[in-house]
Amino acid sequence: MATNPSGSIRTPVAKVRHLGSARSGTQHAWRMRVTSLALLPLSIAFIWIVLGLIGKDHATVREALGHPFAAIVMLLFVPTGVYHMMLGMQTIIEDYVHGEHVKMWSLMANMFFCAVVGLACIYAVLRLSFI
Domain ranges of the chain: 24-130
pLDDT in tens, 25-53: 789 899 999 999 999 999 999 999 999 99
For residue 11, pLDDT over 80 is answered with: no
Write 17-25 long-range contacts (CB < 8 A, 24+): none
Query: In this structure, what DSSP letter does residue 10 have?
Result: S
Q: What is the DSSP string of 66-117?
A: TSHHHHHHHHHHHHHHHHHHHHHHHHHHHHH--SHHHHHHHHHHHHHHHHHH
For residue 2, pLDDT over 60 is answered with: no
Say how many Å lie between the first and final Cα of the chain, rounded: 71
Rounded Cα distance between 121 and 131, Å, is: 15
Residues 6+ apart with CB under 8 A from 94: 103, 107
pLDDT of res. 130: 86
Query: Which class in CATH covers the domain with range 24-130?
Result: mainly alpha
pLDDT in tens, 54-111: 999 989 999 999 999 999 999 999 999 999 999 999 999 999 999 999 999 999 999 9
What pTM, to 2 d.p., does this model score? 0.78
